[in-house]
Amino acid sequence: MLSFPFFWHGLRSRVPAEDRLGRFRKVLDQAKIDYLPGSPDLALLSLPPSMPPLRPIRVQAQRFCFPLAGAVRIALLEGGFHAGRDTREFTGDDAVWIHSWAPEALVAPLDLALSLADQKRRGLLELPSLRTAIVVLTSLEDSPLADHHRDLLWRAFGVPVFEQLRGWDGTVIARECEVHDGLHIDESAAILHLHGDELLATQFTAPGDPIIRARTGLTGKIVTGPCECGAETPRLRGLAPVRVKAASATA
C-alpha cells in the first residue's frame, strides 16, 4: 500500500485555547448572548439547538487544500475555490474540456463523483491521467460519503478517495487525511458538538446572522485523540443521517 505524507499543515496541531475562546466570544457577542467572563464555551454549550439556515449561503472563494503532498494537476468540478497553477476549474459546459487538461486528481461534489464513476464503469468515460486521488465534497445540507460510495469510486477509478465536508456557506469545515480515520475538524471555521445523537454546528465563516448550534440531521462520533498522521485536531467518524442510525438500531 502506498503511503503519502500529509500536505495540509494546518492540521498538525490544535487551534490554541485562547483562539478558540476568542471565537466562542465572537459568536456569542454577535448573537448578543451574555456569558460569564472566561467561560464563553460553557455559555455556548448551554444554548438549545437551532434550525439550520433556510436559504443557501455562499462566501468568497476559498483556498483548496489537497490532502496529498507533491505537485498534482487538479480538476475542480465545483465552484467556490481558488484555482492555482496546477488547478483548473471546470463547471457547466467547460467540463467537456477536462480531458485536454489531463488531471491527475478530481475534486467533485458527491453526486457528480458518483455519476462519473457510473459512466466510467459503463465505458462512457475515459480519463487515463487520473492516477492520484479523488476528493469528494460533501455538505451538511446533504448525505455524507458512505462506504458503498467509496467502494463504487474505487472500483471505477482505482485511486484513493478523500472526503471534505462543507458547511452551509460552502466553506470546508472538516477534511480527511491519508490515514482515512475520520475527518479533521477545521476549528478556525466551525465548532461541532453532539447533542444526543445529532451533530450540531456553529460556523464562524457564514456572513450575516450567526449560525449557532444548528441542527445538521447527521450523527457520528467526535474523536479527540491524536491521529496517526500527526494531527491533534478533533475529527469526525462514522457520519450518517440520524434516521439511518435509528433504523439500524431498531432492526
Structural domain spans, the chain: 9-250
Count of alpha carbons within 13 angstroms of residue 84, beta-carbon side: 10
**Residue 172 confidence (pLDDT):** 95
CA distance 127 to 98: 9
DSSP character at residue 47: S
Q: Parallel, antiparallel, or unpaired: how do β-strands 190-195 and 198-203 relate?
A: antiparallel
**Residue 45 confidence (pLDDT):** 77
Average pLDDT per consecutive 10 residues, the chain (251 residues; last block may be shorter): 37 56 73 72 80 78 90 92 87 74 95 94 92 96 93 97 94 96 92 92 77 93 93 94 59 47
**Residue 129 confidence (pLDDT):** 95
Number of Cβ within a 10 Å radius of residue 51:
8
Q: Which residue has the cell 450575516?
A: 208
* pTM of structure: 0.84
**Residue 46 confidence (pLDDT):** 78
**Residue 123 confidence (pLDDT):** 92
Buried b (16+ CB within 10 A) or exposed e, 3-34: eeebebeebeebeeeeebeebbbebbeeeeee
Domain range 9-250, CATH class: alpha beta
CA distance 82 to 208: 23
